[in-house]
Structure 1
């Protein structure tokens, strides 16, 4: 049941991303993102969940587990770029007016309450 629900959720995300002109990238469930050093790429192996920071045995970088995983996911998705002369931030793309969080009737809104 859980797997079917997760598959349905991913399918909804994918079609909504396509509808709004966004890119949906699925990273494999067993991708070892928190085990691979985002600096040198060496796989250190599994760690218990209580270990939140670790030192890479190859390059000596001290890595936060969550930040390291986020960088590894961006690399796996092809979203990470080198900062050596490349544009680091993506282009500014304004949100479509029909998306959540946009302005209603030209007036800014906060949690559905019109601004004064």
Structure 2
């Protein structure tokens, strides 16, 4: 006789984060494999095999070579992401006296269809760089709480229009009729909330006479969910 048991696990906060990271990585690999097969189909080439390591016999030299090849590929992606973070964080710190960021729920976003983009962005690592560089150069970094309705509030009239799914990128305020780009509207609300927080604690968020440091080069663009002043 075969018996079947059903279990339900209740992971703690650390375990939930680890599981979300693992599921996100699995989704990234799956999406990359699908894209590689689609590219091969369009180019009328044979489909690439899925065996970058899994098809190699454990303990063999070929498996060791494949493992090193996979590790180098991951390291290359990681280095490119870290370099971009360093360049952009240095640019923002150099050019602004105050920076406001939104405390996003990365673990929650990693459980959505945006998991690949969330993990690729490396938001937590980017914020960590901003934090220590702001302290080093005497800049002000303000974090806006994740429960602040930046995507729900009309930046024109202040009316809270309610939650919206992530696929809604543009919406019209039911109170004043203003049409908003979701990210641009949220950035304005982040900046407003940062100004209120700075006024409450007496922090300086407007450019002053102190010259900005320009020791490193930077790239262009500001990640979604951040605002510089």
**TM-score for the superposition, normalised by structure 2:** 0.34
Q: Once the 2 structures are TM-superposed, how far is the Cα of residue 96 of structure 1 from its aligned partner?
A: 2.1
Q: Once the 2 structures are TM-superposed, how far is the Cα of residue 21 of structure 1 from its aligned partner?
A: 1.4
**Number of residue pairs matched?**
90
Task: Indicate the residue corresponding to 1:61 in structure 2.
Answer: 178
Q: Which runs of 5+ in 2 are unaligned?
A: 1-13, 18-105, 107-122, 197-205, 219-229
Measure, in 2, the Cα distance between the counterparts of 1:61 and 1:45: 15
Measure, in 2, the Cα distance between the counterparts of 1:101 and 1:14: 18
Deviations 1:46-75 (A, max 9, x none): 111111111101101011101000000000
Say whether residues 1:71 and 2:188 are aligned partners. Answer: yes
Say whether residues 1:100 and 2:216 are aligned partners. Answer: yes
Measure, in 2, the Cα distance between the counterparts of 1:92 and 1:14: 22
Instruction: Compute the RMSD of aligned alpha carbons.
Output: 2.9
Which residue of 118, 137, 149 maps to 1:20? 137
SS at structure 1 position matched to 2:188: helix
SS at structure 1 position matched to 2:135: helix
Say whether residues 1:33 and 2:153 are aligned partners. Answer: no
Larger Rg: 2
Q: Once the 2 structures are TM-superposed, how far is the Cα of residue 8 of structure 1 from its aligned partner?
A: 7.9
**Does 1 or 2 have the higher relative contact order (CA < 8 Å, sep 6+)?**
2
Q: Which runs of 5+ in 1 are unaligned?
A: 80-88, 103-116
Runs of 4+ displaced beyond 4 Å:
6-12
Q: Once the 2 structures are TM-superposed, how far is the Cα of residue 9 of structure 1 from its aligned partner?
A: 6.6
SS at structure 1 position matched to 2:186: helix
The structure where helix makes up a greater share of residues is: 2
